[in-house]
A and B are shown apart, each in its own frame.
Chain A
Amino acid sequence: MSPVNAVLRRELRSYFVTPVAYVFLVIFLVLAGILTFYVGDFYERGQADLQPFFVTHPWLYLILVPAITMRMWAEETKGGTLELLLTLPLTLWQAMLGKFLAAWLFIGLALVLTFPIWITVNYLGSPDNGVIVAGYLGSWLMAGNFIAIGACLSALTRSQVVAFILTALVCVLLILAGQPQVLDFFQGALPRRLVNAVAHLSMLRHFEAISRGVLDLRDLVYFLFSTLGWLIAGVLLLDLKRTR
């Protein structure tokens, strides 16, 4: 696992020597705060929980995760360092895993840094901290899924802008898949079973289930498989590039 570790450390370091990490952390923390209090009515609801905080996460990730992942492979392809990396003794899988884990740990750090809001809600009332932990877990899993999508689509192109837009597009489709408006649209056109399938693709639905504190195996499996699937697709794309 040493090469995975080396790639992971290099990636994390590159976040922090470029402004990417700080810009991300500041924007994430500020937006999460503002949205929770002003849009989520944190105080006015009069409930001691972090629901208004967690509902903002899919939308924050939608903008911020592609910004982290767009450079992941596109930059290496364009700068020629891909040739250096892939002629070192490591497999494509190890390279992909190292990069994925670096981004995932980084988002984990961003989530940890939101701890003041957890302190606040514990100061104001007595929330169910188990539910809050589940919420954080769900949010982190969802972030991992977004990152895997971004990692795959970054391998598709040498343009970071294209990688950003494609990633945001796929993510918004996956968020919205379970919304009533979308399902209504499909209701007439597709058989009932397919509509249900579309609904199950919805990331939001699985995330909401976990963040309510219901740790259903199906939701965990959804995130696990989806994340793995996108990472496999990314590795296959990179491999395909070597033959074309």
Chain B
Amino acid sequence: MIETEQLTRRYGNLTAVDALSIRVEPGQVLGLLGPNGAGKTTAMRMIAGFLVPTSGSARVCGHDVLREPLQAKRALGYLPEGAPSYGEMTVREFLQFIVRMRGLKGEAGYRRFDAVVQQLQLDDVLGLGIDTLSKGLRRRVGLAQAILHDPPVLMLDEPTDGLDPNQKHAVRQLIDVMARERTILISTHLLEEVRALCNRVVIIARGKLLADATPAELEARSRYHGAVSFSAPGSGMSQEMLGRLPQVAGIEIDPLDGRITVFPKPGARILEPVETLLREQGLEVSEIQLERGRLDEVFRQITSGDEATAGARA
């Protein structure tokens, strides 16, 4: 479990994290989402005990990170931004160093070492210097470091940054498997990742919490939620007909590929009426799609709205 209460961090006049209160329970994968410079990394560094908060507090598994730092750090597996590691060491030396630092002794240490090497497929590179590894491999070594002591709480700062699609998939699977009984907090600016991984999303910008919801709830905030889109050449005449349907709020046509999107009135379901109408008109529609909503649009709306109000205040 991770809890923060009014967690605040200032650098001079700049407030990087502003009274952030969140609570992540076991079984949750919370995605901390925000534009660059929103305060994601600063918030994580405070929870990890690397930075001291200006005010407010953070607890990991009930241990205050300032008052019981060692207990909090023992409960936490942390992948810092950029997955830093000691370049002059080999992967084996580095992971053995972590084993010793985590106080894993004898048999237990070997077991965890082997398990993690297998989970992250590091067998082939154990003898290589970390300096010589690709970005993706280095990230995997960083992940191995974070999960080595099998922590109940996992905090990963941009875990898939710099990975290719296959590696991203592998890392997401790993997180998925680990998620079952653990508390996981990941930061990202990849919206696909949120949909793929997280069962809860917190959006922050300028250090402030702006939204706390499930990915589906966020998608429902999109104006695309429940919209129906299709491609149909020569459908100019049917637009008017579509617009006259009682459930329809509006219609847009993509100027590039001519794809038509029909927006519903709030709460209305329009897939069936639209389909019926198109069939009645005898229009050839190759494929028709019901939109779930666009996270990127919601994200932009939430985070840029904040900028506008902040600008108005300034």
C-alpha spacing A17/B103, complex, angstroms: 24
Q: Is B229 in contact with chain A by the CB < 8 A criterion?
A: no
Hey, what's the 0/1 contact readout for A210-244 against B, CB within 8 Å counting as 1? 00000000000000000000000000000000110
Q: Is A242 touching B51 in the complex (CB atoms < 8 A)?
A: yes
Q: How many residues of B contact A (CB 8 A)?
A: 29
Q: Is B52 touching A87 in the complex (CB atoms < 8 A)?
A: no
Q: Is A88 touching B98 in the complex (CB atoms < 8 A)?
A: yes
Q: Which residue of B is nearest A90, CB measured?
A: B101
Q: Is A2 in contact with chain B by the CB < 8 A criterion?
A: yes
Tell me which of A2, A18, A242 contacts B88 (CB under 8 A): A18
A159 — which chain B residues lie within 8 A by C-beta?
none
Q: Which residue of A is nearest B105, CB measured?
A: A2
C-alpha spacing A6/B93, complex, angstroms: 11
Q: Is B88 touching A84 in the complex (CB atoms < 8 A)?
A: no
Q: Is A6 touching B80 in the complex (CB atoms < 8 A)?
A: no
Known: A89-B101, A89-B103. A84 touches B85 (CB 8 A): yes
A87 — which chain B residues lie within 8 A by C-beta?
48-50, 73, 76, 78, 80
Q: Is B23 in contact with chain A by the CB < 8 A criterion?
A: no
List CB contacts (< 8 Å) of A1-28 with chain B.
2-3, 5-7, 9-10, 13-14, 17-18
A7 to chain B, nearest CB (A): 8
Q: Is A44 in contact with chain B by the CB < 8 A criterion?
A: no
C-alpha spacing A2/B102, complex, angstroms: 9
Q: Is B50 touching A83 in the complex (CB atoms < 8 A)?
A: yes
Q: Is B86 touching A81 in the complex (CB atoms < 8 A)?
A: yes
Q: Is A194 in contact with chain B by the CB < 8 A criterion?
A: no
Known: A13-B93, A81-B84. A89 touches B70 (CB 8 A): yes
Chain A interface main SS type: helix
Q: Is B76 touching A14 in the complex (CB atoms < 8 A)?
A: no
Q: Is B101 touching A3 in the complex (CB atoms < 8 A)?
A: yes
Q: Is A83 touching B45 in the complex (CB atoms < 8 A)?
A: yes
Q: Is B89 in contact with chain A by the CB < 8 A criterion?
A: yes
Q: Is B80 touching A88 in the complex (CB atoms < 8 A)?
A: no
Q: Is B100 touching A6 in the complex (CB atoms < 8 A)?
A: yes
A3 — which chain B residues lie within 8 A by C-beta?
100-101, 103
Q: Is A79 touching B101 in the complex (CB atoms < 8 A)?
A: no
Q: Is A84 touching B84 in the complex (CB atoms < 8 A)?
A: yes
C-alpha spacing A17/B93, complex, angstroms: 12
C-alpha spacing A90/B100, complex, angstroms: 11
C-alpha spacing A13/B93, complex, angstroms: 10
Q: Is B110 in contact with chain A by the CB < 8 A criterion?
A: no
A16 to chain B, nearest CB (A): 10
A18 — which chain B residues lie within 8 A by C-beta?
88
Q: Is A109 in contact with chain B by the CB < 8 A criterion?
A: no
Known: A81-B84, A84-B145, A89-B74. A6 touches B52 (CB 8 A): no
List CB contacts (< 8 Å) of A62-90 with chain B.
79-81, 83-84, 86-90
Hey, what's the 0/1 contact readout for A83-100 against B, CB within 8 Å counting as 1? 110111111000000000
Q: Which residue of A is nearest B79, CB measured?
A: A84
B52 — which chain A residues lie within 8 A by C-beta?
242-243
C-alpha spacing A196/B173, complex, angstroms: 70
Q: Is B82 in contact with chain A by the CB < 8 A criterion?
A: yes
C-alpha spacing A10/B89, complex, angstroms: 9
C-alpha spacing A83/B88, complex, angstroms: 17
Q: Is B88 touching A14 in the complex (CB atoms < 8 A)?
A: yes
Q: Which residue of B is nearest A7, CB measured?
A: B101
Hey, what's the 0/1 contact readout for B64-84 against A, CB within 8 Å counting as 1? 000001100110101011101
B51 — which chain A residues lie within 8 A by C-beta?
242-243
Q: Is A80 touching B84 in the complex (CB atoms < 8 A)?
A: yes
Q: Is B86 touching A88 in the complex (CB atoms < 8 A)?
A: no
A61 to chain B, nearest CB (A): 25
Known: A80-B80, A80-B82, A242-B50. A88 touches B101 (CB 8 A): yes
C-alpha spacing A87/B142, complex, angstroms: 13
B217 to chain A, nearest CB (A): 32
Known: A6-B100, A87-B48. A14 touches B84 (CB 8 A): no
C-alpha spacing A95/B167, complex, angstroms: 34
B112 to chain A, nearest CB (A): 15
Q: Is A6 touching B101 in the complex (CB atoms < 8 A)?
A: yes
A10-B86, A14-B89 known, 4 other contacts, Cβ within 8 Å: A5-B100, A83-B81, A89-B73, A242-B50
Provide 11 A-B residue pairs closer than 8 Å at the C-beta atoms, listed in order of the A residue. A2-B100, A6-B100, A83-B48, A84-B84, A84-B145, A86-B50, A87-B50, A88-B98, A88-B101, A91-B69, A242-B51
Query: Interface residues, chain B, CB within 8 Å of chain A?
Result: 45, 48-52, 69-70, 73-74, 76, 78, 80-82, 84-89, 93, 97-98, 100-103, 145
Task: Across the A-B interface, give the 8 residue pairs with the lowest CB-CB distance, nearest first.
Answer: A80-B84, A6-B100, A89-B73, A87-B48, A243-B52, A83-B80, A88-B101, A89-B74
